[in-house]
Structure 1
Amino acid sequence: MIFGKLLPREGNFFELFNQHAGHIVTAAHAFALLVKHYNDPELREKYNQDVDAAESAADSVNREVNRLLHITFITPIDREQIHSLINTMDDVADLMQDAAETMALYDVRRMTTEIERLTELCVKSAERLKSAVSLLHDIGDANTAAAALKTCEEIDQLETDADRVMRAAMSKLFREEPDVREVIKLKAIYELLETVTDKCEDVAKLIEGVILENS
């Protein structure tokens, strides 16, 4: 009994998940502002830095979760689920940063309606991801588990919408853009943004798995 009391139990994993999800949303909103104000170099740089800061904060949470995994004897959900969930969430933040950096590195000159639409879907996906993550601490409750599953379905639909937008964007790009360099630049941005929604869907699937095993 004394030995059991001395063992680290549970840690603070759910709160750390919530913090990380919050940083993802912050990164997504900063990226949306970057797109909105892209023609203003000063604002563009400011919001690029905001994306970087949010991604860095998410990295710190990721490191803390992985540190806790090594010292916590009893975790609230399966250890592998925790590891997969936080690392996949971190991929979302990384991709937001990658998209912002790619715009700068490729010297993208203009935003397109397709970038704006994909960005909107990324923001919605990030917000729904945060909502789903916030419910994990109470998935033993049937209503909470059902709400989380519904939110995961919404994330899946957003990914489907993003896939549809990207296919249409690629078709338009290759049919209407005469500059090969612009084709290469915009294709890279479209793919990165669609992959953000893919990764949000991956997080949703992991959450569904946690719910099915623990509710």
Structure 2
Amino acid sequence: MFKRFLPETTDFFSFFEDHSTVLTQMCNELLAMCEPGADLAVVVGSIKTLERKADDITRRCLRALQKTFITPFDRTQIKGLIGNLDDIADSIDEAASRILVFEIKELRPEVKTFAEILLKATNYLKEALDLLRNLKNEPAINQKCIAVIKLENEGDEILRQALTSLFKNGSDNPVLIIKWKEIFEHLEEGTDMAEDAANQINGIVIEAS
């Protein structure tokens, strides 16, 4: 009986597309933070605003999922994918916020490297999600997802190199080392979450094909 009161369809693809757009904007802000003379407080504020926007998209998607009877693919996949995307936003926000809270005065070069990797990964995810409306795009979608997974591997290597450099040459200040280790780990976590999103997209395509 209650099914009659639920909307038959919701455009969940729009939620994914909108969220991925916000993610690329966050990565661009992260890159802007690395520019000489950047006002870290202003940039971190912009990233926080975008993270809240991403949260809002996620909440609206989940509310719509509760009210929608007919979905384009499995409900757990919709919930999982929007959650994966939001995890990327959270990781970027956590890293940026810590740079400000820890009163980091000079950014290490690895921040820019991570920002570039994250921007590439989120762009690939955005392209894959833009194609997801039509399963005839499966080969192109898979290519985008594979590219994201390769970037996650790069992220692992950058983290290893960053930590090696940090402990060998970074600072005689152990507190500063701990701060940077935490920042790097949040940035690398963003690439992990991007890989999770890519795997989720792959799973959707495989199950629907």
Deviations along 1:163-205, whole A, 9 cap, x unmatched? 1111011111111122212211111111111110100000000
Q: Distance in 2 between matches of 1:7 and 1:189?
A: 44
After TM superposition, the score normalised by the length of structure 2 is 0.94
More displaced 10-residue stretch of structure 1: 79-88 or 48-57? 48-57
Q: Give the share of equivalent positions with the same residue, in percent.
A: 30
Per the TM alignment, residue 24 of structure 1 is displaced from its structure 2 partner at its CA by 0.8
* TM-score, normalization by structure 1: 0.91
Over 4 Å off, 4+ runs: 3-7
**CA distance in 1: counterparts of 2:5 and 2:138, whole angstroms:** 32
Q: Distance in 2 between matches of 1:7 and 1:114?
A: 49
Match of 1:76 among 72, 78, 85: 72
Whether 2:202 is the aligned partner of 1:208: answer yes
Q: Which amino acid aligns with 1:200?
A: A
Q: Which residue of 1 aligns with 2:150?
A: 157
Select the residue among 113, 126, 129 that pairs with 1:130: 126
Task: Check whether the contact 2:40–2:100 (CA below 8 A) recurs between aligned residues.
Answer: no
Q: 1:4 to 1:105 in 2, by over 3 A?
A: closer
Distance 1:173 1:155 in 2: 26
Alignment gaps of 5+ in structure 2? none
1:29: how far off? 0.7
Secondary structure class of the residue paired with 1:36:
coil
What does residue range 46-85 of structure 1 map to in structure 2 within 5 Å? 46-85=42-81
Match of 2:193 in 1: 199
- What is the root-mean-square deviation in Å for CA atoms of aligned residues? 1.6
Say which SS state the counterpart of residue 197 (structure 1) adopts.
Answer: helix
Aligned partners of 2:41 and 2:100 also within 8 Å: no
1:4 positional shift:
8.4
* Residue aligned with 2:29, SS: helix
Q: Distance in 2 between matches of 1:136 and 1:26?
A: 21
Whole-angstrom distance in 1 between the partners of 2:43 and 2:3: 48
Contact 2:3 2:69 in 1 (8 A): no
Please say if 1:87 is aligned against 2:80.
Answer: no
Aligned with residue 105 of structure 2, among 81, 103, 109: 109
Instruction: Point out where structure 1 has 5 or more consecutive residues left out of the alignment.
Output: none
Matched with 1:100 is: 96
Q: How far does residue 111 in structure 1 lie from its aligned partner after superposition? A: 1.1
Distance 1:4 1:171 in 2: 57
1:83 counterpart letter in structure 2:
K
Q: Are the aligned partners of 2:145 and 2:198 in contact in 1 as well (CA < 8 Å)?
A: yes
AA aligned to 1:47 is V
Whether 1:189 and 2:183 are equivalent positions in the alignment is yes
- Distance (Å, rounded) in 1 between the aligned partners of 2:23 and 2:115: 13
Matched residue count: 207
